[in-house]
Amino acid sequence: MNRRAAQPKGGPDVKKQTIATKSAPAAIGPYSQGVAAGNLVFVSGQIPLDPATGKVVEGDVSAQADRVLRNVRAILEAAGASMDAVVKTSVFLADLRDFEAVNRVYAGFFPSDPPARATFQVAGLPKGVLLEIEAVALKA
């Protein structure tokens, strides 16, 4: 049987572009802040690091959620997208009891037509933070 490698939708002309901005924290490992491919933008999991200091923001899960979502927004904007263009997020919580507090902050960033979302409780997150959020958006 003869098999051919599948071509990405859009054919071989679809290019991968690494997204980097000083308005969001630098990656703390061998990954990009985000990647654009075709009309999609993939934002790597963001934790509550202050982009100016590289340190975890002080405060409760609400303060951390606010910083995380500001970081997501900065990367999207650097890619030519916006929070309105987000189609899917994944939220990783150190404690699922923080679900409602995170929802209150999250709703402020997605006031209408929120994206699809999955939320997980995880055993641990980088730097001992309380949450991490990744996103996929459409690029204009």
Under a CB-based contact definition with an 8 Å cutoff, are residues 50 and 26 in contact?
A: no
The yes-or-no verdict on residue 124 having pLDDT over 70 is yes
pLDDT digits 0-9 by tens, 70-98:
999 999 999 999 999 999 999 999 999 99
8 pLDDT higher than 80: no
Averaged pLDDT of the chain: 93
Domain 16-138: CATH class, spelled out: alpha beta
pLDDT of 50 > 90? The answer is: yes
Q: Which residues pair with 60 in a beta bridge?
A: none
Return d(Cα 69, Cα 83) in angstroms, integer: 9
Q: What is the pTM of this model?
A: 0.90
Angstrom distance (rounded) from CA 43 to CA 29: 14
Q: pLDDT at residue 35 above 50?
A: yes
Q: How confident is the model at residue 4 (pLDDT cuts 50, 70, 90)?
A: very low
Q: At residue 2, does pLDDT exceed 50?
A: no
Q: Please check whether residue 117 is in contact with residue 133, taking contact to mean a CB–CB distance below 8 angstroms.
A: no
30 DSSP β-pair partners = none
CA 23 – CA 109 distance, rounded (Å) = 17
